[in-house]
Copies of this chain bind each other. A is one copy, B any other.
Amino acid sequence: MSQVSQKSQHIPRATIERLSVYLEILANLKAEGIEVVSSEQMAAASKSNASQIRKDLAYFGEFGVRGMGYYVKDLMQSITSSLGIDREWRAVLVGIGNMGRALLTHKAIPARGYRIVGAFDSDPNKIGTRINNFEIYDIARLPDMVHELNAEIGVIATPPDKAQAVAEYMLQAGLHGILNFASMRLTVPADVYVEYVDFLHHLYALSFKISLAKIR
């Protein structure tokens, strides 16, 4: 457990993205009391392809039983373990605007094993207040506090013009993973991973598809 392992050297980024979809499907199946599932059934539920699913899973190991399928519970454990998410991950959040507050109260975050262990802002009116049992700390204290909080992930939910400065604090704090909700590209060293939650690009994609559909 909590040991990332793989059969293959390189795993396609697309595979990683699909695994979370599979996890969701499996959670639903488990809730319905279904214990075994075939790649064909999962394909139907995920609008993917059965071979794709088998190949995705095979990157990490042989989890299925030939002639039968996959045990739902075991497969969930295998996927979470493969992704390294079968343990608690501690994160610090910076930016206590509406988005930050939404994250502090979001139920899915702790439900998936992610724990926000510190909340930071630069606004003196917010520093020292409490939101949903989180005390808001001064962003200047981030580098010191990350270590004692034992956090590994930094979440940025500030306005775009503050995002790079916050990222610098996070680098200084020794964080190697950043989840960025601000619509601003970040400049970081190669050993720091940044994931962008960019709902504007999803809006653009929708507009484009709708526009295209209309001229067809």
Contact = CB atoms under 8 A, between A and B. Distances in A.
Interface residues of A, number: 61
Interface string A182-213: 01110000010101111111111111111111
Contact of A203 (B97, B153, B205, B211): B153
Given A106-B98, A210-B152, A210-B176, A203 B112 contact: yes
A184 to B, nearest CB: 8
A114 interface: yes
Interface string A150-167: 001100000110000000
B183 A108 contact: yes
A211 B4 contact: yes
Q: Give chain A's interface secondary structure class.
A: helix
B4 A200 contact: no
A21 interface: yes
B211 A84 contact: yes
Given A84-B211, A210-B84, A108 B153 contact: no
B205 A16 contact: yes
Most buried by B among A105, A107, A201: A201
A102 interface: yes
A1 interface: no
A208 B106 contact: no
Contacts of A207: 83-85, 89, 153, 177
Interface of A: 4, 13, 16-17, 19-21, 24-25, 45-46, 83-85, 89, 97-99, 101-102, 105-109, 112, 114, 152-153, 159-160, 176-179, 181, 183-185, 191, 193, 195-213, 215
6 contacts: A20-B201, A21-B201, A24-B183, A83-B208, A108-B200, A153-B203
Interface pairs A-B: 9 shortest CB-CB? A84-B211, A98-B102, A195-B202, A20-B201, A177-B206, A4-B211, A99-B102, A193-B209, A102-B102
